[in-house]
A and B are shown apart, each in its own frame.
Chain A
Amino acid sequence: MDEIEQLRRVVRDHLERDPGAALRGGALDPDEVRRLDRDRWRRQASELGLPGVRIPEEFGGAGMGLAEEVAVHTELGRALDDGPFLTTSLVAAALVALADDEANHGRLARIAAGDLVAVPVLPIEEKFPLEYPHAKAAAGGDFEISGELPCVVDATVADALLVLADYQGFHAFFWVEANDPGVEIVPLSTLDLTRRMGTVRLAGARAELLAEQDRARAGVAAIRQGAILGMSAECVGVAERALEMAVDYVKVRTQFGRPIGSFQAVKHKCADLLVSLERARSALSVAVRSVQHNDAIGRRPESLAGLAVARMYCGRVAAEITRESIHLHGGIGFTWEHPAHLYYRRAVSNRQLLDSTGQQPRLLTASVLAAHGEDTQLASFYAGKAGR
């Protein structure tokens, strides 16, 4: 077993011993998921080192690499974990890239210890909306931010927000404490019952400037990349588990005097789902390798093309497999008590977030053209969309 596979086993064993709301058995209570079980999050920190997987060791993290982090996301997806790893890991990655000072080191250490839940607040879409939070200088060297952003994952349980705001016409990142009187977070009903979202309303919230312009743009890219890989990996884990559950079920469910999994109509469907799962696994590893290889040498179009493969496939495949898993379970799969719908909900939700505007395929084409040095309108069109 290679190291990544070992890491996955360790995480899986821990999550089986200490499951989240989805897999504790019985019907899921959505109200229970809206709250964050902080003790459990701290156990994930102290026993697994989860929130600090990629935080450098000098700041209390495990200092692991991208492949390890992706493996953790895969296992968390498999377990439909409702902890805030997706969001805190993105903030941690951004903080490492954005600023190297005492205050940040302290934040990283608290994130690694499971004591600080911080959430990135930036638009999901590739193309920025005309209106997103904007900042202005305030008295005392601080800043004030106003604006609103919907569908911010984990916003309802955050201690702090890493907000991307428009400052004097450029991107800038700000740190905002969630208990600031200028911050209002409105919980949203979510399709994915194991993922919290909220609308963040900022009305003159006090903010600390962390980075602006080029550095902020690099932070946007880092967060987006992390979110794409994280959600794509979750999709792979979700799809793996949903297919396993379906296959286990059709082996034991008997009709017409034999297991339904012996009928070709059923087994061929399962085989097709396996092929789809392998596509999703490959799409994820294409994206990871593409980022590892191309980012290091500054080949951004190639890197984006690799990421786009994961964005196109992982969500689509997870939605397909989880939907068919409900079908293969028959009526029992459509009951509230059975977890099949929770996997379906996570898969569809991630698919939507991974390509919210349906633009990914054509952006991929543009990236391929740009990577081949084809100086077309598309390539420049894309360059205009990729950053601001």
Chain B
Amino acid sequence: MTTPTTHQSVAAEAHAFFAARAQRRERRGMLHGVGDDDVVGVGLTQPDAEAAEVARAQQWQRELFDARLAWLDGPAELGGRGLDHDYVELVAGIAAEYEVPSTSTYMVSHGIVAPTILAHGTDEQKQAFLPGIWRGDLICCQLFSEPEAGSDLASLRTTAVRDGDDWIVTGQKVWSSFAHVAQLGELLVRTGPPESRHRGLSVFLIDMDSPGIDVRPLRQVTGSEHFNEVFLDGVRVPDSRRLGPVNGGWNIAMTTVGSERSVLGRAHNGIMIEPVIRLFALARSTGAIEDPAIQDLLAECWAREQVLHETATRLRDAGGPAPGSVVKLMTTNDMEYYSDVAARLLGYRMVADTGAWGTYSWSQLLLSAPSHRIAGGSDEIQRNILAERVLGLPREERPVSEKSA
């Protein structure tokens, strides 16, 4: 006999699963000084600790998948559970109540690459990759930006040339998060003539251990090394790894960057860990909460968090154009606001590590916030998208060199 799946039943399953494997977080509500004091979840692992973290994440992801808690809103025939998206938020919320291993290694895999394969892949490609990605066997990265193609992604120059049943890829990619630990790359390349811009691009799913790929980590502002330069020198990719039509890659790339932006609006996305309630707790611990000026700042933080989550849900449900751009601009602005409030609360303890719990850890938010205004399309690109695609404002006149294209 099977019982019907409900929010209650899935919540019970999730609690049972997490409770059997992890400590319940003691830090609930506004307790300050207990547990892990990291404020930022993604991209801060130092190189020497990374291999162990990836191994832990892979083990954890496999157990989640086997318990059918990894891909709740995925199609059942691909290893998902066929439930509504609100189940994803439900289980993520429950996971946040336990000291579970970080799965931020999979942020690009699950948040960005998997939705693109689901939307544009053939049945064979979905079967070949999606169960593996969600089981944690395949860590993914994005190979989009190039040294000369950042905001102007359509000018990219890495090429793929047809050779029988294969394509030969040559060029250079950059800012590829997780490329140094990834098995699978979503590669955007030029398959049309050099001046074809967005009409001459194609997407491939490339094995990162292919001969001719050289991945070199880049050190970031935060001191960690989670993004990379990727050199591709005559790399052979079978045509069966092509995602979507030849020269039809732009549309697919837009799905990818759209997902990348929307990830930011989700609660429990691992980018920030309960920042607002921690600011309240911090203010209580120092007594600053009694100061009306501080109360005003905290209220603004609380309102921003509510508004962000409401906006992400509302725009996702409404199905209009470019919801991710609104959410991304809000989030990046909120992150800076939170780090400013933290700085106000911490004073000198923001600039030197005194060892006090939950103080210097905020400097990581301060340092990582600028990256989110650049990654996944800069703030300026998001504003162009909103102005042109949502408000219908005219495009800026193109430079002469592009008009000929």
Contacts and interface: CB of A to CB of B under 8 A. Distances in A.
B70 interface: no
A164 interface: no
A262 B395 CA distance: 6
Interface stretch (B75-83, B105-113, B209-217, B304-312): B304-312
Contacts of A259: 393-394
B292 A267 contact: no
A247 B392 contact: yes
B315 A262 contact: no
Contact of B326 (A266, A278, A366, A377): A278
Given A251-B394, A313-B307, A372-B29, A362 B329 contact: no
Contacts of B298: 365, 368
B296 interface: yes
A327 interface: no
B67 interface: no
A312 B300 contact: yes
A362 B295 contact: yes
SS class, residues of chain B in contact with chain A: helix
Q: Which bucket holds chain B's interface residue count?
A: 35 or more
B165 interface: no
Given A247-B391, A271-B383, A374-B30, A263 B396 contact: yes
Given A279-B307, A285-B310, A362-B295, A251 B387 contact: no
Contacts of A363: 299
B326 A368 contact: no
Interface in A218-275: 247, 250-251, 258-259, 261-264, 266-268, 270-272, 274-275
Interface string B274-296: 00000010001000011010011
Contacts, number: 135
A306 B306 CA distance: 9
Interface string B68-91: 000000000000000000000000
B302 A365 contact: yes
A368 B396 contact: no
Contacts of A199: none
Nearest to B308: A282
Given A247-B392, A258-B397, A275-B326, A312 B310 contact: no
Contacts of B306: 282-283, 286, 306, 309
A305 B303 CA distance: 9
A179 to B, nearest CB: 44
A345 interface: no
A169 to B, nearest CB: 30
A267 B303 contact: no
B314 interface: yes
A268 B380 contact: yes
Interface string A9-37: 00000000000000000000000000000
A341 interface: no
Interface in B356-405: 380, 382-384, 386-388, 390-397
A7 interface: no
B330 A286 contact: no
Given A361-B296, A362-B296, A374-B284, A274 B302 contact: no
Nearest to A277: B326
Contacts of B392: 247, 251
A312 B310 CA distance: 16
A365 B280 CA distance: 9
Nearest to A268: B383
Contacts of B310: 282-283, 285-286
Interface of A: 247, 250-251, 258-259, 261-264, 266-268, 270-272, 274-275, 278-279, 281-283, 285-286, 305-306, 308-309, 312-313, 360-366, 368-369, 372-374, 376-378
17 contacts: A247-B393, A261-B394, A264-B396, A267-B384, A268-B384, A270-B391, A271-B391, A274-B391, A281-B311, A282-B307, A282-B308, A305-B302, A361-B295, A368-B280, A374-B29, A374-B284, A376-B289
> Closest 3 interchain pairs by CB?
A361-B299, A267-B387, A271-B383
